[in-house]
Structures are given as structure tokens and as C-alpha cells.
Chains A and B, each alone.
Chain A
Amino acid sequence: MKKVITGNHAVSYGAMLARAQVIAAYPITPQTTIVEHLADFTADGQLDARFINVESEHSAMAASVGASAAGARAFTASSSHGLALMHEMLHVAAGSRLPIVMANVNRALGTNWNLWADQTDSLSQRDTGWLQFYCESNQEALDTVIQAYRVSEQVLVPSMICLDAFFISHTAEIVDIPDKALVDSYLPECNLVYRLDPANPCTLYGVTSAEFYYEFRYKLHKAMEDAIRVAREADDEFREMFGRSYGLVEQYRMEDAELVLVTSGTAASTSRLVIDELRERGERVGMLRIRMFRPFPAEEIRNALRGAQRVAVMDRNMSPGQGGIMAQELRSALCNTPDRPPVYGFVVGLGGRDITTDVVHRVIEEALATDIPEDIIWMGVKV
């Protein structure tokens, strides 16, 4: 069934079709309508879930952790300051190896207060041990929620699905809503072996000395590595069943590309137009869209960039004192590769500033014009 819905509504369809059982969330713009739609689905009987209208995002994640530890499929959603408030609990959820799925609408952090698109909120949670997916469309947001439960429940690592504020969250597009029965056959019931069960009493997440802690961390990392294979399989099977797939990274017109533009989220849609235009003029440019950011699919990225002369990364996020976060990750993935191309780190679009085709053109021109890139390249700073 096709419907014209916003990205937030698409996310709530994803959670409903995945049969989320416990939903604990707290309002924050631009996330709030995700949970409102889920409340509607529950009210009209399309979803059988318990809602916990918590008093903060910290408690939203704490309740999700409790619910997941007791064996339920837990879902929550947040954004920006809400996600930042959850920080402690993000570590707890991942360390507890609980397959919680959360949508995060990428919004800038204050101060200065700003409601618009910026990925620094979720990227600054990159070391908490969550899988992270960055979506480009409403359809992808819906599909990724379903895929994420499948991957998370297999590797026992929580998932964060990220979508750009307003460009996805509040923009309506045509979305194909998958058939519920088909989703059921794609996504088996959540069945956690280690959970709080009075019939089989165990103690979970106790104090752990250096004797064992190291191994727990090793296992978390191994599960992350495994998630690359599991996510690929989940995406392949999704294609077979639903006729769509996304890959961990998406390569666009990369054949013999000399300059590769790397980006994520909705900036990729705009970039595609520019790549088409330049290709028509005979320029050898392509685009790599990073969809899965954690675990970082380094090998796939290295393979995709083999042969590229220059790599221009467009980051809608920034680590003050260092630069664009995806550019850093890309540089570290490439640094042990012989004949690695220079990486141009462009910081653009912070706080929802438009990334127009004009901006993308200038990014590519600048990368082509300079031989040795600066660590960070700003576009159109008005100071």
C-alpha cells in the first residue's frame, strides 16, 4: 500500500510493523510526532504495545533498557538534547547487549538553540556501542527500522536510526508500506535467551572486575564486526522479499570516478543531481553515501574508493577542534592504504543551513582546485 507520509510517520509505521512492545519516550522537536503516531496505532488497535510516558529522555532509555532486559521489543525516539541526556544510558544499553531500536531525528545541539538538521547529536554518541544508520528518504527510514530489529536481535547490539530534521522528519513523500504478514515472516519474534525471568533467575550486569571486563568489551566489538555481515544479509533478504535494498554504503556513478564525493543523509539526494550534471559534462565524479556508520564499514569503503584520486567529504556535523566527523573516520579507514587519495573535509549545512546544488558544486570545484587539502574546509562562513 502506498501513502504520502512524513519521515516521522514512516518511522512509526516501521516500529508498528516490527511490533514494538514497549515504547517509552519524551517529547522533543522534531521527533515528537513519531511517538504520537505510535500512540494512534496503539489506540486504534494496529499495535499492541505498552506506553510509558516518562518524565525525561534519561528515563526513556532506562525504561527501554528494563523492558528489553525483560524480553520485550523496545522502541524509543529522540533528538538532540534528548539524545545527549540519554548518553549514560546509551552506554548501559549497549554494554547490556540489548537490541533496543531508537530513531534519532538529527537536530543541532544548543547553545545556541537551534531546531534544524545537524548530525552532531548522534555522531557524538558514536563510541557508545550502538549501530548507527543514516537514512536518505522516508522509505528508507521505515525499512531501516524493520531491518534494524532484525540485525540488533541477531547480534545483540542496539540500533539508532538517524534522519535529518525536517528534510526527512517533516517532509511528506510517497512511501510503500510493507505488508504486515510479510514483515512478520522477515522479522521473527523477539526471543532473548538472557532475560529477567522468574522461572530462571539470573543476575544481570553486575560489577565486573578487570579480570572479565576486557573480554566483555572484546565481545561487544566482535558483535559490531559481525553486524556488518548480518546487516548485509538482512538487506539482501529485504530486497528479495520487499524489492528494495540500500547497502551499507551506496555507490553512485562511481565507475572510473577520479573524484568521489562522500556524504550521508539528505545531502546525498542533492549531491546526486550535481553528479548527474557533471557526468553529463564528461567529468569523472561519483558519490559514496554512508548509510551504516557504526560499525564503520571500512573495508567496503576502502574497496569503493580504490582508484579515486581525490575524496571530498561533506559533513553536516562538526567536532570543534577537529572537524567533520565522517571525514575523520574516512581518513582513519584509509591511512594504512598505499596510494591513498587525499581527503578533503568540508563542513557544511550546520544547524539546518541549506546544502544546495550550488554548495555541492563549490565543494567539488574546491576539491579539484587544491592539491593539498586543509584539515577542515568551511564553506561560506559569514565572518
Chain B
Amino acid sequence: MSIEIPREEYLFSGHTGCPGCGAVLAMRHVLKGLGDKTVVAIPACCWSIIAGAFPYATLNVPLMHCAFETGAATAAGIKAALEIRGDTETTVLAWAGDGGTFDIGLQALSGAAERNDDIIFICYDNEAYMNTGIQRSSATPWKTWTSTTPANTPKETPKKDIVATMMAHHIPYIATGSVAYPADLIAKVRKAKEIRGTKFIHILIPCPPGWRHPSELTIKIARLAVLSRVFPLYEIEDGNHRVTVEPDDTRVSEYLKLQGRFRHLDETDIEVIQANVDREWSRIECLSA
């Protein structure tokens, strides 16, 4: 896909993310897609820090920091207020980590999605609670090391299927995104902006300290996740699936081996992961046919 990436920047330099942070890039691309008529609500997560401590600010759109579990409810309140005050144009974006989406934020997200509140909810998913020091979340994949799932007893359960959870709410638009495919991400964000109702976008975010990889590998790892089908890029518009970036024959081991959080995996583990990824991919392919 080729689209022109807007030159406008809504993310100032001087943010306080780690070198190679995928979450910073994701915000940069998303705001390019949404433009200046955007209000952002950010629950507690790495981005609470990245955005800069008082009195500094990184974003050039209105940003409200909110409580950890309240991303969706806060955004719903902002949207209602803007509308009653006569502003029907501005997009309200809730921007939450996987903890603020899959776990503590799920109730409020489910509430907003069921009401079909007119917001975009983006989950930037680094697959653990990074802000508090890499604890497991329900977005952490099977067998992953985190600080609460040590390598000798790694996580026993699979990653929660958040897209299926959101599909069960019958919202008009759901998509996955990657920092390795900015044009795809921006196109999805733009589409979401034009749709009324609750839009959900799930972005996989490599995190050098949490995933234990060198900071220069962020984009490479994000791309391998897509190509190996660990994290396929697709969208679901009114229930209709469409794959937006075709993967290739990359094996999951290519993706796993670059990350220290998977260093303890043995051959059998990797085979199980490959089989799970293959099964999930054929399901998505089938739905997209």
C-alpha cells in the first residue's frame, strides 16, 4: 500500500520514552492520521510518562491523563461534552496499554462498546505491564518470561483474544496495526475517524526493555510479527474481515529468537507456538475469504 504520510507532526521531540520505543512511533503515526481536531485520553501506562511530566508536554493536541481503568469511560464523557457544546467534528481517542485494555480497562471498554459511544479506542499492546516493571498481563503470550512469570515458570495460559472480545460487541470497526507498516496504520486510523460508533484498533508494540531486544530491532521485530502471522494485519468492517498486509513464509522462530523474553523456549515450545499461529491464521484467512 502507498499513501502519502502527512508531514504535520503532533508529537514534539523531547518525549521521555525509551530509545526504540514502539509506543512513541505508534502515537506519532496515529496522530498524523487523525490530525489536529483530536482529543486524547490516556489512562495510566508507559504513555503517562512518555507524554512528559508537568510542566512539559509532548503532544500538540489536547491530552487528558486519566485513571488506569477509565480510558473508554473518560473518552465517552469527553465526546458527550464536545457534542453538547456544539463540536461534532473532533475525534476523541482513548489510548491505552494492554493492561488498560485487556485487564483493568476491559469493563469500561465493554460498556462504551456496547453503547457504541463515538470514540476510537486504541490499544498499544506491548504484552505486559511495562510501566510498573514488566509484569504479566492477560495480553502476555503463552510461555513468555515477565517479572511475574519467571523463565522457569513462564506464563501458562494463552494471550486473551481481544479482537474476538470486541467482535462480540458488534462494533462497526476493528483493526490491527503495526509500527512496521505506517501507511497501513494511518489508512486504518483515517477510516476509523470517518465511522460513527466505537472503533477499536489493536497495535502490537515492540518494547526493547520489556521484550529484551536491542533498541534498533523494534521495526524489524514488528515486521517479523506480521510476516510470520504472529500478528496479522487485518480489519473488520461491520463484521467483514479483510487482510490488509499479506504475510509470507517467515517462521515464528525468526520472530521469537530476537527477543530475550523467549530465550528459555525449547524446540517443542516453538513447534506448539507455530502450530497455534498456523491455526489462527487459517481461521482469519477463512473469515476474510
Contacts and interface: CB of A to CB of B under 8 A. Distances in A.
Is the pairing of A and B real?
Answer: yes
B76 A63 contact: yes
Secondary structure at chain B's binding surface: helix, strand, loop or mixed?
A: mixed
Contacts of A24: 73, 76-77, 80
Nearest to B69: A58
B108 A55 contact: yes
B270 to A, nearest CB: 40
Contacts, number: 163
Contacts of B48: 206-207
Contacts of A204: 62-65
Contacts of B52: 203, 206
B66 interface: yes
Contacts of A48: 84
Interface in B103-125: 107-108, 110-111, 114-115, 117
Q: In which size bucket is the chain A interface?
A: 35 or more
Interface in A38-92: 48-50, 52-56, 58-60, 62-72, 74, 88-89, 92
Interface in A2-24: 21-22, 24
A358 interface: no
A62 B73 contact: yes
Contacts of A65: 66, 70, 74, 77
Interface stretch (B36-44, B172-180, B273-281): B36-44
Contact of A54 (B83, B87, B111): B111
B59 interface: yes
B77 A203 contact: no
Contacts of B82: 70, 196
A62 B66 contact: yes
B61 interface: yes
Contact of B73 (A49, A54, A198, A202): A54
Contacts of A53: 115
Contacts of B75: 66
B78 A70 contact: yes
Contact of B64 (A58, A69, A200, A209): A69
B61 A201 contact: yes
A22 B80 contact: yes
A69 B54 CA distance: 17
B225 interface: no
Interface in B137-170: none
B96 interface: no
A56 B78 contact: no
Contacts of B41: 66
A200 B59 CA distance: 12
Interface string A98-121: 000000000000000000000000
A198 B37 contact: yes
A72 B73 contact: no
Given A70-B85, A72-B84, A198-B38, A206 B77 contact: no
Most chain B CB within a 10 A radius of its CB, from A66, A72, A92, A212 = A66
A88 B44 CA distance: 13
Interface of A: 21-22, 24, 48-50, 52-56, 58-60, 62-72, 74, 88-89, 92, 196-198, 200-209, 212
Q: 3 tightest A-B contacts by CB?
A: A66-B77, A55-B111, A63-B77
